Copies of this chain bind each other. A is one copy, B any other.
Amino acid sequence: MRYAWLPCLKSPVPETLKRPLSVADHEARQVADGVCFAVDRDMGEGYKLEKAGDGYRITGGETGVLYGTYALVRALAAGDPLPEGVQKPFYPLRMIDCWDNMDGTVERGYAGRSLWFEGGEFRYDPARIRQLGRMLASVGINALCVNNVNVHAPAQQLIGWLLPDLAAFADILRPFGVRLMVSVDFSMPLQCGLDTADPLDSRVQAWWNARADAVYAAVPDLAGFLVKADSEHRPGPNAYGRDHAQGANMLARALKPHGGVLVWRAFVYNCMQDWRDHSIDRPCAAYNAYMPLDGRFDENVILQIKNGPYDFQVREPASPLFFGLRNTRTAIEYQLAQEYTGHQIDLYAMPPMWREVTDCIGKEAVQAIAAVSNLGRDENWFGHPFAALNLFAFGLFAWDPDSAPAALIGSWAKLTYALPADQEKTLADMLLGSRAVYEKYTSPLGLCWMVQPGLHYGPNPYGYEFDAWGTYNRADRNGVGIDRTAAGTGYACQYPKELADAYGDPARCPENLLLFFHRLPYTYRMKDGRTLIQRIYDDHFEGCEAAEAMRRDLQGLALPEPDRAEALERMDKQARNARNWRDVINTFFHRFSGIDDEKGRVIYD
């Protein structure tokens, strides 16, 4: 069985080790002699790492010693200096949300079937789950939601008759400091004999209280529940005329005696929109829904907000809720699964995106951090061997949101492959630039949703144009985009004044968001003097060439097999995808605009 990074850890963690300290000891022995541990419970997840004679001393809390051990392993493997002083995670909750269904499928999964569900039950290789625990702990991820936020039967029963199995699964991950979370179905009381799921009905509160008691009797350290409610046809409190604070608080109160948190997703919008109605603008939805509720959520509620106002598109502005909510605990949610970003076929390293978002909103804007998992049962865990980077880097970024993308990527490359220095740099540079390349050859300048409907891979610029999902670009023969300024839908006004003013002015708006915020003619002049249409053409030709250049670079890397063959095979698909995006997008806009490429390159009829 492969381990995605740190190949120096050759000996699997034995099932007999039940505590983080035991695991830490096992791991430390594989890389150094004379490692000693000092547990200081007050340090929690924190640790201090020191040279001590010929060996090392790791001081830390219960899981802190484990994190310290992995920090030591990483430093020794990479030849880096030890981190100085006490290390503590910036975000106390660093979770991955797994969209695994109990039938074994993974919603938006691109790495094979579920690692732990199959045929309606838990079915897994315990050794592989321990290997997963090691991977998560080695980068500091401390929570894992086991099932899809869209709760399909029998996953409701994870907090019912499947509790013993959930507990057994929790037992495997506990020594790695990973606590489980469960996605629950807001309407579950209805399925269990009650005639209502109204959060203000005392029988409903009592039902959930009893359920939480049973759950925590089986899994005493469960991190909590995750809920998708009143979103894309999921049941929720709105059916009873209750708002999301009332819905979330009811569940939170059931969890509170047990120390659990209630993570409530803020992914709410009208998914039955009429494309003719320009007064509705999907990006406005979450802010409009949650700002009136600010301050009304209980303390153990965390509102989990996707990074952008749409849905994990290649380029979106940060959600205005990160600026607006002042009295609500929030988590930012990223998506490691490459739903809209290349299906783990195309390269798409995410740290630059996290850096941009964090620099925009400030790391203190949220109190927790989550990401949709990109894991699956494939031999290499991630479909593309390089997609491992995104989980690796997410863990370290969640620990320290001041991390530099280049450092995260370089570290992963070094800890995964023993490449010559120049090749290691080539690989790291390729990954560091991969998002920009993907962005260039897909939809331009912040235009979203030009993907194949449903599949979300490959171009279909008008595929969602007249659909009910609120995903429009409104391209016509004169121009493209939606006016989201004060004169338009007003979305830009949801930001603090300085940002709102910048976003609202085409001359000051970041060019990569120009068509997110503005409707512009094809002849609009960009800052460098090019027309908008020429910029679109240039980006797409350049993006496709950049993909070709990545292919050449990749061919020169002495990667171990099967990674090399897998990466090259996927790179061929990426190159085809890039060509298709280039030609479809260029043709689409050429058919509308009638304007030829100034450089005379081929745009198909």
Contacts and interface: CB of A to CB of B under 8 A. Distances in A.
Contacts of A459: 466
A426 to B, nearest CB: 32
Contact of A463 (B275, B462, B474, B587): B462
Interface in A267-299: 275-276, 278
A478 B461 CA distance: 19
A466 B276 contact: no
Interface string A452-464: 0110000111110
Q: Which of A463, A466, A583, A588 has most B Cβ within 10 Å?
A: A466
Given A453-B453, A460-B463, A478 B594 contact: yes
A476 interface: yes
A584 B466 contact: yes
B462 A592 contact: no
B276 A604 contact: yes
B463 A276 contact: no
A593 interface: yes
A425 interface: no
A588 B453 CA distance: 18
Given A463-B462, A584-B466, A477 B605 contact: no
Given A583-B276, A591-B592, A592-B592, A605 B463 contact: no
Contacts of A463: 453, 460, 462-463
A471 to B, nearest CB: 13
Interface in A49-70: none
Q: Is the interface of A mostly helix, strand, loop or mixed?
A: loop
A301 interface: no
Nearest to A583: B276
A93 interface: no
Contacts of A580: 466
B584 A477 contact: no
A588 B472 CA distance: 13
A314 interface: no
Given A460-B463, A476-B591, 13 more contacts: A275-B584, A276-B583, A276-B604, A278-B605, A462-B462, A462-B463, A462-B465, A466-B587, A476-B590, A476-B592, A477-B592, A478-B594, A592-B592
Quick one: copies of this chain in the complex?
2
A587 B277 CA distance: 13
Nearest to A463: B463
Q: Which 10 A-B pairs have the closest CB atoms?
A: A476-B591, A462-B462, A276-B604, A466-B584, A477-B477, A477-B594, A463-B463, A477-B592, A276-B583, A477-B591
Interface in A289-331: none
A366 interface: no
A475 interface: yes
Interface in A548-596: 580, 583-584, 587-588, 590-594
A462 B477 CA distance: 15
25 contacts: A275-B584, A276-B604, A278-B605, A453-B453, A454-B454, A459-B466, A460-B462, A460-B466, A462-B462, A462-B465, A462-B588, A463-B463, A466-B580, A466-B584, A466-B587, A466-B588, A474-B591, A475-B591, A476-B592, A477-B591, A477-B592, A477-B594, A478-B594, A591-B592, A592-B592
A593 B477 contact: yes
A90 B104 CA distance: 54
A536 to B, nearest CB: 16
Q: Which of A474, A475, A588, A591 has most B Cβ within 10 Å?
A: A591
Nearest to A475: B591
Nearest to A584: B466
A453 B454 CA distance: 10
A584 B463 CA distance: 12
Interface string A476-503: 1110000000000000000000000000
Q: Which of A278, A463, A474, A588 has most B Cβ within 10 Å?
A: A463
A346 B295 CA distance: 50
A592 to B, nearest CB: 6
A158 to B, nearest CB: 27
Q: Which of A460, A474, A593 has most B Cβ within 10 Å?
A: A460
A605 B462 contact: no
Q: Which of A276, A580, A584 has most B Cβ within 10 Å?
A: A276
Contacts of A462: 460-463, 465, 588
A450 to B, nearest CB: 11
A468 to B, nearest CB: 10
